[in-house]
Each structure stands twice: as C-alpha cells, then as structure tokens.
Structure 1
C-alpha cells in the first residue's frame, strides 16, 4: 500500500511542475517510505506522483509507480492491494498481455484497454484507490474500493483537479486554500460525518464503491460521480420462510477462509491483530491453520481492567500457538500521542482507541512487520454492535409474545452499560429526516445526533449563526440511497446505514488506514472481502442475531477455533477507557487541554467559543453528572481538542512549505 497524488489541469497546455508532485508525495512519506516516483504527461496537463510501500514485487526500480502503458496512452497511480491478481495475470497473458513488473497494480493497465472501466472494476478484489488518466478519452478517473478501506480526496476548481491519498497531500498544492467549512466542523464535534464530505472547504472524498470522472470537453470539464458497487441487501421477502442455518454457517466458513488465505499472501512477513473479540480470534485461528510457522499476534492492552481484553486474547494465542506481542497502554501514552494521531487522521476522534492503534502500528513496524490481517468489518456483516440488536428488537421482531419481549427488554437493559453515551444513546433520539428515509432513526447514529445541541454551544457565535437553519440528520439522510433501503428488513437497513456512516467515516479512517499507514504498516481487513460481504447480505437476520448471541452465524462457523469463553461471551465493544471516568487519564487529557483549549488558543483559532468549551470541562468534573453523560462529554472534549489541533497543524500551518521542506530533507528533488 502506498500514497498517491496528482493534478489534472483544465488547460492541457499548462505545464505541470514535477517538483510540486514530488512535494505532494513527500508529505505522505509515512505511507510509502520505500521510494517515490513522478510522471508528467507533457502537453496533457496531467501528472501523478507516488510514495511506495513495498509489499508485492520488492524490486524498487522495476515496480516504481506511476505506471505508463506501452503506447503511452494511460497513466496510473495505485494505492492498495488487488487479491487474486496472479490468476488475472495468467488470464491476461493468455490474451497477449506482456507484463513489465510483478506488481499487482499493473493488471489495471491491461484490464482497462481490453474490458473498459466497469468490467475492470467488477474483476478487482481487494482494498484500493487509484487514479487513471486516459489520453484517448482525455479523462481522469478517480476510483475507490467498495467499502472505502483506502482513502482518496480531491479538490476541483476552474483550473482543474488536485487529488491525493490524504487531505494534507491535496493541501500541499499551493493553489489549494485551507479553511474549515461550518457544517464539517459541526459534524466533527458530533462524530458522525455526512458521507463523501470533509471538514475542509472544497475538499471532497471519493465515496466508497464510486468512480469520479473528470472529462475535458472543449474549454470545460464534465464531472461524473457514479457508483459501481453497493452493499446491497435483498428485499425483505427474500428472508421469508425457513432457511437452513447450517447453510448460512457453511457460507461464512468458506467465504472467510478464502478471504484470509488471500490476505496472507505477500512478499514480506504477515502478522495479525488479536483482541479478545470473535473477529480477530477467528482471523488468527484460520491463519494458524494455514501456516506452518507460528503466527505473530499483536494485542493492545489497557491498564483499566474494565476495558482490557488481554486475558481472552492470551487464551486464544495459547490455543493457536501464536507468538503474542502485547502492548499495554495508559492515559499518558494515549494523550501523549494524541496530537500526532490527529495529524494523521485529519479528522477528530471521539475515543483514544485511535491513538492506541497508532501506537500499535508503530510497534508492529518497529519489530519488522509491514502487514497485518485484521478483524474490521465483521460487526458490519454479522450485526455485532449493540445498536443492531436494539434496532432488531425495536423494529424487526413484531411477532414476539409478551414473555419474549420482556426477555429482550431485560437483555438490552443490561448489555454494554459501559458504552451508553457513545456506542448507544442514553435516551432514544428520533430524527425526522432519517426516520423518513430509513423508517426509523438507526440506533448507531442516535448517540451522535443527540450531541448536536451540545456541539452547537461550543462553536463560536458566527459559526452558530451561519448554521442556524442547518439540519445534520437531513444532510446525512439525503446521502443515503433510498433504493438500497426501501423494502429491506429493518436489520439490513440498520447495517446499510452503518456501512455508509460509521464504518467509512470512523472505523476505516481513524480506526484503520490512517493510523496504520501513519507508520508505513498495511492492514488487511479480511471480513471486508466483497465476495464474503455479498454472501453475508443473504444470511437471514435471525441467523446473524439469535437471542442474546450477536454474530451467531460467525461464532458457529468458527466454533472449532474459538475458546469456550469467547464462544459463549456477549459482544464487548473494543474501545479505550474514557478520561472522564479515569482520574489518571483525565489528568493527561487536561494537560493537553491547557495548550489547545485555553482561552487564548481558542480565541486565536476562531472556531470554538471559550465559554462553551469551559462549560463542558466543568460539567465533566461534577460529581452529579450521570455516567452516560460523562462518556458523551469525553467524546466531546476529544472532538474539541481535535478541532483545535487540526486548525493549528493544517489550517494555520503552511502546508505547501512543509511539503517542500520534507521533499528537500528526503532528497526527493526532481
């Protein structure tokens, strides 16, 4: 995996400065420290750059990107991995293709001319983001993988397009301005983002499963944003009648086994992340069965025992003969690296789990590993979060008798009490716009939508006034495809909404790529293999959640690999302990707040309101504040810190100058 960047000017005769492209690569050096490349197409107003992390084909000169094809009509910069690419190469070779490298990336240059973009994308399997300039079409295609595992941002203006793997890469171009937009800041404070948006004026994301095409036509540029894949569930009638539970179990077993097998392939050692959850334990169990040598297992431990999962992780490591490496963290570790983590996430974080994962990826790289297989995506496929169980009970179990209903109510009342205020709302929150679009307000969004009033109180007066008529729930609802929601089972609708909001905007950004690639470490989420995902959408809702047992079908599929403790255990959402309920961690948080949330710092940035900020900090220290509110306040304070850090390091900083200096220091001079 790597970092990509580039420009596509509207005036094709405008010269492209190769040093600017090198600077854009240099500022994302962490994504690709193994080398860089720059390619400019003279007379085409197009140029790409690439920072390389060597995973497949370690020959630096042979596999250096950006790639051109043999007749110089295509320019490619690719970030990510294409699995099963050897089979595709064999097929293409039989059709006359001649490959110049062993890189998986090169298959694009041979698929696209033969089959076109739509068929090429259908054949690709993996996590990826790439830019492809086609001379014949005079068009730039920006493509992102199906779930949004790999990031891709762009800025479009009357002059053309600037794109990159990170926001700071786009900002490294001297013609891209740096400022927050009001709506984006409000959503940062609320945690949940509007799909496809960022907090930065004029900078957008390519949405998961989408292609954004910029095509020159005369003196103008036609822009097309279209989906090529979606997380599509069948209509509710598909689930009617009895379905074979054993068939569901076998579907999961076969699909996950294949997904893990593909992700263990690399030209460098591959490890695994291991928490105490069924997801990562399944991954390491399958990996151990496929490998002859012990699997390297990396585990995060917390000093707060309420949030620590290392005992179960140790049990799983012993059962599989894994070589376990535990990194134990406390509050000083988490807030001591908070600012650095925010520089890489480029968005705020509600929980310091992002910092923990940043520190773990650094540790993984330090002990000689570049690749790990992870368990992200399992909860999305098999309804593992407490919010899904709540939505199923509230909206998908109309035929329960009174006795069964009381059992469900009791179960929901006692489950995941630690996470009220974050994973679950303290009280039901109904948003009219989401209810209209989805049929109900998904429980996964309720805790964050309920933060809206509090978030508005900490914005400065001008921003509050500008947002007076803005409705966050409406903005989110309008980005959800009604065609993917209407007629679906309530649990399917809830899972679809999560995949478009929290999965892409949280788990795969500050919980995934951004903190992993911050330390040049590639994470491979096996559950988000789209073949497995498409099979999972056909599994009946009550095979995903069966009574108290969420992810029932996954647990049954992996039963022979899991320790009895884990097999019988309820879902425990993996997160770092809140500072508002941990004295030592609160002290570490306040030490950082003294710098970024002081009245002077807040006034200088001009984004937040000093009195509003102080009110929340004071409320978090009051003995009478309910625990659920303390968890919510922990998230809000983390978000306020994040906004201030982002302003100082990305908005107020001179990013083009920083990128140029980084290139000079690295010797990446063209």
Structure 2
C-alpha cells in the first residue's frame, strides 16, 4: 500500500518546503489515491510525505501518515504491509504501548523505542519500505523488506538527502539531477541490473534486506548501509547426509505445507476484499487452493489469457478455478495491442523491459482495480525457493551432478537436451557463456545470467560514442559479482548458489519490479506474495537438493505438499514460463513494435536524446531480420530492441520532461496542498 517520500538537509537549520513534500506525494498518486499527508520538523530540517492506499484501518483521518510518536521524537512513513501485527500489537499494549490507530504500520513507533533498531527488525514480517526519523539521535533510517518486494530509492545531492518509493518521487525535487549513467544504460540494454544500482547518476536503491542510516555531523551526511537479513543456505558440510537422500521426505513436505499455509493466511488479512492472481502454474494455483480452503465465500481469481496458444495458460487456470469453486475472471489479451501500452508501463516501471509481460500485468492490475479490488495474493517467489526455473536444473547438471545419488544423475543426464524451446534465448543461453569474475566468485557463471551477459556483447555498438567511451573495457559480470556477498556463496551447493544469484539479480531487478509492484501499484493495486514470507524462505533454504529437483520434476516438495489441492494435469505438468509472446513470433506484434521503434529509434529521435548510436541500432535490426539468424538469437535481439526503445522512452519521461513541474501540476490537479 501507499507511497512514501521525504528529504533532509545536511544543515538542520535549513527549512523544508511543505509544498515540495506534497508534490512528491502527488506524483505517486497512483500508489495512494485515497489521501495524502505530510509532516515537517523544521527545527531539524527534515520532512516526510505519504500517498495513502487504504487497506488496513480505513478511517480517513486516523490512519493518515506520516505518524509521529506521542513524545514527538519519532516520525514514520511506511509503504507496504506488516503481518502478524495483531499479535505484536497485543504484546506491546500489555507492556504499556498506547496505539492511536488500527494500522499495522504504527507498531514500528512502539517497537523501535522498546527494542532498538536491530532487535526490532526480526519483528517486521512482510513487504515494506520504511522511513523513520529519530529526533533524539538525529538520524534517518530507511528499511527495505527482505526480498525487495517494495521499492525504495535515495540520493544525496546539493546538501540534501532525498528518498521515495519511486524514482520519479526523487526527480520531483528540483535539486535532484536527472542524468543517465553510462554503466546504468549499459545494464538497461542488457537487461540485468547491478544490485542496488539504477540507470541514473547518483541514484541508489536500498538493497533488499538492508537498512540505510543517515546521520549528520558538521553540516555533512554520514551514510551507512547494513544488511539485516539474507537468504542463508546451509553449507555443504552442514547439509551432510541430505546429499545422499538420508532424510525424512514426509517431514519436509509437511513443513512446506505448514509454513506456506501460515504465510497465505497472514496475507489474506485486510479490511478490504482480497483476490488472487491465477495463471496455469503450480504456484498461483497453490495459493488459490489454500486461499479457497481458508475462506467460506468463493475467492475471486483473475487470469490473463493470450491469443497465442504457445503462451496461453487460461485453460489450465480455468480447471483449477473450477476445482476450488473460485469466481474466475479471465482477461484475454491480443499480443498485437500490448505495445499500445508500452510507454505507460515504462513510466511506472522506471526501467527497461525485455518482454511485454510487464504491459500485460499493468493491464491486468487495471482490470482488477476496475473490478473493485485493491489487494491480490500472488505466486511470485515459488520458483526461487523450490528451484522451478530451467536455469537451476542446468546449473545442477553442469556443476552439481556428482553430488546427486546415482539414480538422479542418470535422469538428469537424459534431460539435458529436453529444455522447453520457449525458454531458449530468454531464460537459457544458446551457447554456454563463462564470465571470469562470476566463475571466480560462484565457481561457475549461473545460467540465469548467461543469456543477458551474452546479450551484452550487442550493447557497446548501440551506445552513443560519448557513452561508449565511458564504458570502454567495462565488464558487466564483474560489476554484478562485486555486488554479491561472497560469504553467502562460499561452501554452498551449486544449486543453492544458482538460486542465491537469481534472488539477488533476476528476482529483485525484474520479477518484483516491472513484473510486480510497479505495474500493480500503477493501478493502486497491492500484490502480496506468500512464497516470499521470510519464515517460509528460511525453511526452504534447508530443503535437500532432491526435494527441490527430483528427476524430471522441479519444485518436487511443493507439488507433493499441494497434491491434494491441484488438478492431476497441473500436478504432472512441467514448468512453463509465464511470459508474453516475443515480438517476432507474431506479425501484428512485430508491426506494433516497429511502429514504436519508428518513433523512438529514428535518427532524429536518437540524435536528440544522445544515448544511442543510429548506426548501431540499424545494424542490430539488420541482424534480427537476417534469415540466417537463429530463432534463439532472435528472441535475444527482441529483448535488446525492447530495451533500446525503453531507454529512449525513459529519457522522454524523466530527463526531457520537467518532472518537478509535472509533480506540482499533479498536486494542483488533485487539490492537494500544504
């Protein structure tokens, strides 16, 4: 729920502009259309604002943020949800805490003074971006949830520390520069972003599972970052007999069922109706099945269908909905129309996208909102916990085969050549790609990064000569490796390493951004992913390898845990990637993409933006249309074309446009004023 914003001066005697705070809230109106609030501590040179989406405590005035503690020492603005809050509130109340709202967010104001920052963090269960100012210690704290479900950005410029839920919130402040970073553009064009970075100069993300603490001394900021949680897999030594299948299978199946059920039940808690996203995959079907089992009335289930049979899962989703008596709503999409909403999607995503799935998700969230829902539970995170992606199986085959029992090795070897053709070029590289820095850190180059590292070879010729010079000799794999925590990789099983790298790169930088929060909140719709509950994740980290991948079956333990809820066809089904059809697979979609390219990739448009090289762009299109180019390479080039259009659109939205003026105009349009 909601969007947060704020800024602080390095000099506490400088004044905060309330109108500026309101404008920063207004530009993220889509995150919180149900009201706004702001609070300023002028004697400390700090102010917060908040755009509210009412989900818990619907009282218009009582739940309005920012919250200020009774003693005036703490100021809080929060985005997201904290679960199990009723139990924690009751405990805090018994210890003397006095709550003024029914909000889950308010408990932070009571946990922090009682527990202190580090001891408070384990109590925060959910998806959140938190800003907390401690007047007594004169420190600002930003906290992001463990997997990065909710976004949170910050920058230090011109003696000010500025933060917000979206990049455009920072850009709404007139002192924040809106300028592309050469390496940031490089990564936008190759898809995989360096953890914690953005496409723009001096604009940072709070990393998942991290807190950023900002203090002031002698007119300067002291900024430090610390990690409070990570996906900590056991070492090979700690796994011990697990590697020889010496374990109780039933215990793990029951454990997954127990932890997932609790995570689902917590995420159904709301003061508004909660629906489900339902694809034809085991993940969302499991969530729907558990949701239906815990509620007396039929669950509302929303499904996306595509007009391309190779990518459409609506038939299986319909079977699942019927099996649990859900009220299903199927929105069929024509692939040729997805590019009609490409620009709008990028304004919300604030990064480039390789596939129009993000557009489809934006259209779905709009449909859900129009149907009267603000909250859905979703299946994101299951593949990350239970090894659902083809890349994981590939890494297990290439680097962990000798750790498996003999029978498992034989099955794995037989499967190597049977990868789903739909993944080729997008989820698996056509040829194995080795990066020296990743090989050194991880022991191998994870398969999830290989197609994008391979795509990076197309990037340099696409860049404007001035940017190309800045990235001369740059190694994207090295930058990614340097952003990963080697302690979390050392001594781990190859499958654990592969999952860890995916979680730190693809999950946070792709699935949870333009496939998740950003396109859901574009239409004021909050998505809750039970699989990313950290209690479930910590349990899943201990699962034996063969409980995750068992012969031909990925996510084995989840299938067994959900066997009673799933239709037979789904229980037996192999992993299918939920994505929109690539442009070149459909003449109408290719024509729609080319029409957008004609606008944004013309020589004139490229020259005006100064990001790309028109000759390089033309050469890439020629390669794509060459009859000798393989289908796998075409999929890869489809992605690069989307990224090229994307950086041009981002330039229009956030560099060429006067964002501060846009934000103030939005505040005026809404009637929001200080």
Q: TM-score range by the shorter chain?
A: over 0.9
Q: Which residue of 328, 331, 339 maps to 2:332?
A: 328
Q: Aligned residue for 1:629?
A: 633
Q: Aligned residue for 1:61?
A: 61
1:445-474, Cα deviation, whole Å (9 max, x unpaired): 000000111011211111111111211100
Q: Which residue of 646, 659, 666 maps to 1:662?
A: 666
Instruction: Tell me whether 1:262 sits opposite 2:266 in the alignment.
Output: yes
Q: Aligned residue for 1:155?
A: 155
Q: Aligned residue for 1:223?
A: 223
Instruction: Tell me whether 1:344 sits opposite 2:348 in the alignment.
Output: yes
Task: Summarize the Cα distance change of 1:287–1:220 in structure 2 as closer, same or farther, 3 Å threshold.
Answer: same
CA distance in structure 1 between the partners assigned to 2:409 and 2:113 by the alignment: 58
Range that drifts further, 410-419 or 302-311: 410-419
Q: Aligned residue for 2:375?
A: 371
User: CA shift at 1:592, angstroms?
Assistant: 1.0
Q: Which residue of 609, 612, 622 maps to 2:613?
A: 609
CA distance in structure 2 between the partners assigned to 1:412 and 1:279 by the alignment: 24
Task: Summarize the Cα distance change of 1:405–1:655 in structure 2 as closer, same or farther, 3 Å threshold.
Answer: same
User: CA shift at 1:348, angstroms?
Assistant: 0.3
Q: Residue 159 of structure 2 contacts residue 220 of structure 2 at CA under 8 Å; is this kept in 1?
A: no
Instruction: Tell me whether 1:585 sits opposite 2:589 in the alignment.
Output: yes
User: What root-mean-square deviation, in Å, do the aligned CA atoms of Structure 1 and Structure 2 show?
Assistant: 1.1
Q: Which residue of 278, 283, 293 maps to 2:282?
A: 278
Residues 534-545 of structure 1 mapped to structure 2, 5 A cutoff: 534-545=538-549
CA distance in structure 2 between the partners assigned to 1:239 and 1:651 by the alignment: 51
1:584-618, Cα deviation, whole Å (9 max, x unpaired): 11011111111111111111111011111122222
Instruction: Tell me whether 1:385 sits opposite 2:389 in the alignment.
Output: yes
Q: Aligned residue for 1:475?
A: 479
Instruction: Tell me whether 1:515 sits opposite 2:519 in the alignment.
Output: yes
Q: Aligned residue for 2:647?
A: 643
Which 4+ stretches in 1 moved above 4 angstroms?
399-407
User: CA shift at 1:251, angstroms?
Assistant: 0.8
Q: Residue 154 of structure 1 contacts residue 164 of structure 1 at CA under 8 Å; is this kept in 2?
A: yes
CA distance in structure 1 between the partners assigned to 2:189 and 2:64 by the alignment: 40
CA distance in structure 2 between the partners assigned to 1:412 and 1:578 by the alignment: 24
CA distance in structure 2 between the partners assigned to 1:306 and 1:618 by the alignment: 27
Range that drifts further, 256-265 or 211-220: 211-220
CA distance in structure 2 between the partners assigned to 1:354 and 1:400 by the alignment: 37
CA distance in structure 1 between the partners assigned to 2:570 and 2:318 by the alignment: 12
Give SS of 2:99's match: coil
Residues 198-237 of structure 1 mapped to structure 2, 5 A cutoff: 198-237=198-237
| TM-score, with structure 2 as normaliser | 0.98
1:403-459, Cα deviation, whole Å (9 max, x unpaired): 975643441322211111111101000000001001110000000000111011211
Task: Summarize the Cα distance change of 1:401–1:375 in structure 2 as closer, same or farther, 3 Å threshold.
Answer: closer
Q: Residue 80 of structure 2 contacts residue 127 of structure 2 at CA under 8 Å; is this kept in 1?
A: yes
**Ranges in structure 2 where 5+ consecutive residues have no aligned partner:** none
Q: Aligned residue for 2:461?
A: 457
Q: Residue 580 of structure 1 contacts residue 621 of structure 1 at CA under 8 Å; is this kept in 2?
A: no
Q: Residue 157 of structure 2 contacts residue 176 of structure 2 at CA under 8 Å; is this kept in 1?
A: no
Q: Which residue of 433, 437, 456 maps to 1:433?
A: 437
Q: How many residues align?
A: 670
Instruction: Tell me whether 1:74 sits opposite 2:86 in the alignment.
Output: no
User: CA shift at 1:402, angstroms?
Assistant: 9.2
Task: Summarize the Cα distance change of 1:407–1:578 in structure 2 as closer, same or farther, 3 Å threshold.
Answer: same
Give SS of 2:523's match: coil
Task: Summarize the Cα distance change of 1:400–1:268 in structure 2 as closer, same or farther, 3 Å threshold.
Answer: closer
User: CA shift at 1:331, angstroms?
Assistant: 2.5
Give SS of 2:401's match: coil
Q: Aligned residue for 2:419?
A: 415
Q: Aligned residue for 1:104?
A: 104
1:230-284, Cα deviation, whole Å (9 max, x unpaired): 1111111222211111111111000000000000110000000000100000000
Q: Aligned residue for 1:317?
A: 321
Task: Summarize the Cα distance change of 1:400–1:290 in structure 2 as closer, same or farther, 3 Å threshold.
Answer: closer
Range that drifts further, 213-222 or 487-496: 213-222
| TM-score, with structure 1 as normaliser | 0.99
